[in-house]
Amino acid sequence: MSTEAIAAIGAVEPSVAVGVPQLANQGAVAAPGFADWVAHEAAQVNASLAVAENDVRRLATGQVQNLHEVMIHLEEAKLSFQLLAQVRNRVLEAYQEVMRMQV
Amino acid sequence: MADYQSAFQISASGMAVEKLRLDITTANLANMNSAAPSAAAAYQPLRVVSQARPLEFARQFGLALAGGGASVQAVVPQPVAPRLVYEPGHPYADAKGMVAYAGVNHTSEMLNLNAALRTYEANVAAFAAARSMAARTLELGGKQ
């Protein structure tokens, strides 16, 4: 009975051994993509912040035709920054979850 | 955030139209007592003609309505007769002593003013709804 149980473990082992490298490979492929995405999003948020800042400067110097466009650009910049902050929170949360794992 | 930008832009187009309506109504009210040398030269009250911005056929069934909203088609003078007042001493008085003033309808201009203000507020409310919808979306899955 005990040898059968050991044999059963042996039968399971290869599938586990195959499964782990696949996951590791997927992670290795996906990681630069995500980093690129984060960099791209951060650049976009920076651009919208720059637009909002420029609008505020033009408002201060009296070159603005319509006030609501400035406010809408400010809101857009705020929302895109909040999106970036939320993505950062989720990633950090996942990282901390992994670090807390008992090995 | 790009999907909310269309809602913001539509609200912005409505706000721009109502802002122009306010400007035009203010101009009409400001010229209420403007006199003119002849009846033909009297200030004619203006009116904003706005129109729905045409949406492309494919976009009407899509989720993104970018390019929608309202736009100003024209600012047209209202064909109203000038208000003639008997003021013989006035420099613009004609042979009969009548002076042509702008035929601005005070009541309807005040109503236009209020309507423009309320419509602007409605656009702001729609913008705030879109903004809080976006902010709520960012709370998805977060710590409550």
Interhelix angle B2-30/B106-138, rounded to 10 degrees, is 160
Calpha distance B112→B104 (Å, rounded): 12
Q: What percent of chain B has pLDDT over 70?
A: 88
The residue among B25, B44, B46 whose CA lies nearest residue B36 is B44
pTM strictly above 0.80:
no
The residue among B33, B40, B22 whose CA lies nearest residue B123 is B22
Calpha distance B78→B109 (Å, rounded): 12
Residues of chain B in contact with residue A68, where contact means CB-CB under 8 angstroms, are 12, 15-16, 19
> Which residue has better confidence, B105 or B66?
B105
pLDDT of residue B144: 54
pLDDT one-digit tens code per residue, B4-61? 888 888 899 999 999 999 999 999 999 999 998 888 889 999 999 998 887 665 455 5
For chain A, how many residues are written? 103
- Interface check B117 vs A, CB under 8 A: no
What is the per-residue burial (b if ≥16 Cβ within 10 Å, else e) of A3-17?
eeeeeeeeeeeeeee
pLDDT one-digit tens code per residue, B75-113? 999 999 999 999 999 999 988 999 999 999 999 999 999
Task: Please give the interface size between A and B, counted as residue pairs whose CB atoms are below 8 Å apart.
Answer: 34
> Taking all residues of chain B, what is their mean pLDDT, rounded to a whole number?
87
- Interface check A79 vs B, CB under 8 A: yes
Does position A16 have pLDDT exceeding 70, yes or no?
A: no
pLDDT of residue A103: 81
The mean pLDDT of A56-70, rounded to a whole number, is 89
The answer to whether ipTM exceeds 0.95 is no
pLDDT one-digit tens code per residue, A67-86? 898 999 999 999 999 999 99
Calpha distance B119→B70 (Å, rounded): 12
